[in-house]
Chains A and B, each alone.
Chain A
Amino acid sequence: MSTVRYTKDHEWVRVEGDTVVVGITDYAQTQLGDVVYVELPEVGRRVQKGKEAAVVESVKAASEVFAPISGEVVAVNAELSGEPGRVNSDPMGQGWFMKLRIANPKEMDELMDETAYNGFVEGLH
C-alpha cells in the first residue's frame, strides 16, 4: 500500500522513515505550466499544516505551496534552483520540494489517498 497522501491544494506527502517528503502533483504542474523558479523555506523552519511553505513560479503565475502537514524542514531540494523544470518533468520524484520531520503523524490520516485524490481531480473538470 502506498504511503503517499494528497491535499486538495495538490501537494503530495510521502513517508520515508521518520521524515516525509513533500512536492506538488502532476495535475498541479500541468496547471502551472513551465516552472521557472521555486522559493524554498530555510532548513530549520517550522511549517504549519495549511500555511504557506514555499512558492512555485511559472512565467505567468506564482502559486503558494501549502504545508500539507506540520513539521520542521530538515532538507530542501537544492537542485531545483538550477533545474526548476524538474517539477514539470518528474513532479513525484526528482521534483520534490522539501523534507519535514513531522510533529503529528495523525495529520497524515486526514489527507486523501491516491484513489480519493484521483477522484477529486476528475471532479474538477
Chain B
Amino acid sequence: MRYLPLTDTDRAAMLAAIGADSVEALFGDVPRSARLERPVDLPRAMGELEVERALARMAAKNMAAGAAASFLGAGVYRHHVPAAVDHLIQRGEFLTSYTPYQPEVSQGTLQALFEFQTQVALITGMEVANASMYDGATSCAEAVMMANRVTRRHKAILAGDLHPHYRETTTTHARFAGFEVVARDPDPAAHDDLAPLVDGDTACVVVQNPGFFGHVRDFSALAEACHRAGALLVVIVTEAVSLGLVKPPGEMGADIVAAEGQSVGNPLTFGGPHVGLFATRDKFVRQMPGRLAGQTVDVEGRRGWVLTLSTREQHIRREKATSNICTNSGLCALAFTIHMALLGDAGFTRLAELNHAHAVMLAERLAAVPGVAVLNDTFFNEFALRLKRPAAAVVEALAQRGVLAGVPASRFWPGRKDMADVLIVAATETNTEEDMATFAQSLREVLR
C-alpha cells in the first residue's frame, strides 16, 4: 500500500524488539468482544487511477459555476484567484506543517499570520485582528460572546438583514451559552432603525454591511447610540472585497468586526473550508477569541514571531477560555494573505471598483426586464430583485439554460410569502458583459 512504508520484514524485526508475537497482541487491552476479526464492510484499497475515476464521476454530476453564467452570492462570492496563490499554498512547508507551537521552526507560518492580522486590521479599519476563525458565521457568534464578556451583559440585537446563517449560528450558541438574542425581521427594502432598541441590558447590536440584501449603510449614528448605552457595535462583512470601496466598519465606530474572508484567495468549494476574520480595538484584545501571532525578538536580538496571549485559550484556561477554538483556518488565511499581497492597495481598490461597476451594469439591464424590480438604492456587488413570479422556480428554469441566476430568498425563508419572489443577485469581476446579456435575455424569456 503506497502510503504505508512498513514491510513484513520490518514488522517482524520490530515485534521481536518489542517482545510481542503479533500486532494483534498489542491490542490486548481492547475488550475481546469489541475486536473486529475482519476488515469492515467497505471497499478494499484502490490505486490512484481508480480513486480518481470514482471521484471524477461524482464531480461530473455537478454544474461547476464556471461552466455557467454565474451570479450567486449570499455570503459566498466567485472571484478570480491568481494562479500563484494555489501554487504557494501547496508548498509542503505550508501545506503539511502544524500549528506554530515551536516558533523556531515555524517562522514562515508565524510571519505570514502576522501579515494576515495586519491586512485584516487595515481593510476593516480596526486596530487588531486574530489569526482566523472557521468562517464568517462562527466569527459572528464569537463576536457576540465576546461582547457579552466585555459588557457583562447578555442580550444581542441582530439586524433583520444579517445573513440568516450567521443569525442561526449565533442563536444556536445563545441557546447553550445562555444569552438572549433579539432577531429583527428581515425586509429586503426597509431600513430598520435599531438605535431606539439599545438599552442598559444590551451587550451588542449586530449589523451587516453590505446587508444581506445588498444595502450599504452608515452605522456611525448607531455606534454612538450603542456607546451611550454602554453596548458594543458588531459589524459583519460577508463580502471582503467590498472593503476595497466601501467605508470600513472601523471608520463607523465599530467595536468588533466579524467577517468572511473567502472572497480573497479562496474558491467557492461548495461552502467550505472558508475563513473567518475577526478584528477589534486594542483595549479589548484580551477578550478576543482565537490565536494571535505577536512580534518579539530571539536570544540574538533578531525580530521574530510567536503565538501569544495564549492564556486566553483552551489549552491553558480550559473551562475559562475565551473560546474552545483550537484548529482554525490557517491555510485559507494564508491564501488570503498571498492574494492580498498580490493585489495591494491599487489592485484591491480596482478589484472592488470592477465588482461595483459590473453590479451597476447588471442592475440596469435587469431593471429593464419586464416583471423585474430592483429593490436597492444602494449596493456594492449584490442586490435584491422582486420578480413577478416565485424566484425559486425561475432559478431552476434559468439553471437549465446555463445561467446560475442568484439565490432565491425562499431558500432561507421557505414559509414566507413576502420572500417567495425575492432573488438575491451578485456580480463580480468574473462576469462578462456577455454573461449579463445572457442572464437578462434568459430572464426575459422565463418571465414571459
Q: List chain A positions with a Cβ less than 8 A from chain B.
A: 36-37, 57-62
A108 to B57: give the CA distance in the assembly, Å.
Answer: 77
Residues in B whose Cβ lies below 8 Å from that of A62? 311, 316-317, 320
A59 to B311: give the CA distance in the assembly, Å.
Answer: 7
A58 to B316: give the CA distance in the assembly, Å.
Answer: 10
A37 and B316 in contact, given A57-B311, A59-B310 (Cβ under 8 angstroms): no
Contact with A along B286-324 (1 / 0, CB 8 A): 100000000000000000000000110000110010000
Within residues 265 to 290 of chain B, which ones have a CB less than 8 A from any CB in chain A? 286
A58 to B310: give the CA distance in the assembly, Å.
Answer: 10
Residues in B whose Cβ lies below 8 Å from that of A61? 311, 316
Instruction: Name the distance in Å between B83's Cβ and chain A's nearest Cβ.
Output: 41
Among B311, B316, B320, the one with the most A-chain Cβ atoms within 10 Å of its Cβ is B311
Instruction: Name the distance in Å between B204's Cβ and chain A's nearest Cβ.
Output: 21
| CB-based closest 8 A-B pairs | A62-B311, A57-B311, A62-B317, A62-B316, A61-B316, A60-B316, A61-B311, A59-B310
Q: List chain B positions with a Cβ less than 8 A from chain A.
A: 286, 310-311, 316-317, 320
Whether A37 lies near B310 (C-beta < 8 A) is no
Among A36, A58, A60, A62, the one with the most B-chain Cβ atoms within 10 Å of its Cβ is A62
Whether A37 lies near B286 (C-beta < 8 A) is yes
A37 to B310: give the CA distance in the assembly, Å.
Answer: 12
- Residue on B nearest A36 in the bound complex, by CB: B311
Residues in B whose Cβ lies below 8 Å from that of A36? 311
Instruction: Name the distance in Å between B311's Cβ and chain A's nearest Cβ.
Output: 4
- Residue on B nearest A63 in the bound complex, by CB: B311
Instruction: Name the distance in Å between B149's Cβ and chain A's nearest Cβ.
Output: 12
Residues in A whose Cβ lies below 8 Å from that of B286? 37
Residues in A whose Cβ lies below 8 Å from that of B317? 62
Residues in B whose Cβ lies below 8 Å from that of A59? 310-311
Residues in B whose Cβ lies below 8 Å from that of A60? 310-311, 316
Residues in B whose Cβ lies below 8 Å from that of A57? 311
A116 to B317: give the CA distance in the assembly, Å.
Answer: 31
A37 to B311: give the CA distance in the assembly, Å.
Answer: 10
Instruction: Name the distance in Å between B317's Cβ and chain A's nearest Cβ.
Output: 6
Instruction: Name the distance in Å between B285's Cβ and chain A's nearest Cβ.
Output: 11
- Residue on B nearest A52 in the bound complex, by CB: B320
A36 to B310: give the CA distance in the assembly, Å.
Answer: 11
A58 to B311: give the CA distance in the assembly, Å.
Answer: 8
12 intermolecular pairs with C-beta atoms under 8 Å apart: A36-B311, A37-B286, A37-B311, A57-B311, A58-B311, A59-B311, A60-B310, A60-B311, A61-B311, A61-B316, A62-B311, A62-B320
A35 to B316: give the CA distance in the assembly, Å.
Answer: 15
- Residue on A nearest B315 in the bound complex, by CB: A60
- Residue on A nearest B317 in the bound complex, by CB: A62
A36 to B320: give the CA distance in the assembly, Å.
Answer: 18
Instruction: Name the distance in Å between A52's Cβ and chain B's nearest Cβ.
Output: 10
Residues in A whose Cβ lies below 8 Å from that of B320? 62
A61 to B286: give the CA distance in the assembly, Å.
Answer: 15
Residues in A whose Cβ lies below 8 Å from that of B310? 59-60
Instruction: Name the distance in Å between B284's Cβ and chain A's nearest Cβ.
Output: 14
A63 to B286: give the CA distance in the assembly, Å.
Answer: 16
A62 to B322: give the CA distance in the assembly, Å.
Answer: 13
A57 to B311: give the CA distance in the assembly, Å.
Answer: 7
- Residue on A nearest B318 in the bound complex, by CB: A62
Instruction: Name the distance in Å between A34's Cβ and chain B's nearest Cβ.
Output: 12
Residues in A whose Cβ lies below 8 Å from that of B311? 36-37, 57-62
Among A36, A37, A57, A58, the one with the most B-chain Cβ atoms within 10 Å of its Cβ is A57
- Residue on A nearest B286 in the bound complex, by CB: A37
- Residue on B nearest A62 in the bound complex, by CB: B311
A71 to B286: give the CA distance in the assembly, Å.
Answer: 27
Instruction: Name the distance in Å between A78's Cβ and chain B's nearest Cβ.
Output: 15
Instruction: Name the distance in Å between A4's Cβ and chain B's nearest Cβ.
Output: 29
A12 to B317: give the CA distance in the assembly, Å.
Answer: 24
Beyond the given pairs A37-B311, A59-B310, 5 more chain A to chain B contacts, judged by CB atoms under 8 angstroms and listed by A's residue number, are A36-B311, A57-B311, A62-B316, A62-B317, A62-B320
Instruction: Name the distance in Å between B162's Cβ and chain A's nearest Cβ.
Output: 32
Residues in A whose Cβ lies below 8 Å from that of B316? 60-62
A37 to B317: give the CA distance in the assembly, Å.
Answer: 14
A62 to B312: give the CA distance in the assembly, Å.
Answer: 9
A58 to B286: give the CA distance in the assembly, Å.
Answer: 14
A60 to B315: give the CA distance in the assembly, Å.
Answer: 9
Instruction: Name the distance in Å between B411's Cβ and chain A's nearest Cβ.
Output: 44
- Residue on A nearest B308 in the bound complex, by CB: A59
A101 to B48: give the CA distance in the assembly, Å.
Answer: 74
A62 to B311: give the CA distance in the assembly, Å.
Answer: 6
Instruction: Name the distance in Å between A8's Cβ and chain B's nearest Cβ.
Output: 22
A36 to B317: give the CA distance in the assembly, Å.
Answer: 15
Instruction: Name the distance in Å between B212's Cβ and chain A's nearest Cβ.
Output: 38
- Residue on B nearest A56 in the bound complex, by CB: B311
A62 to B321: give the CA distance in the assembly, Å.
Answer: 10
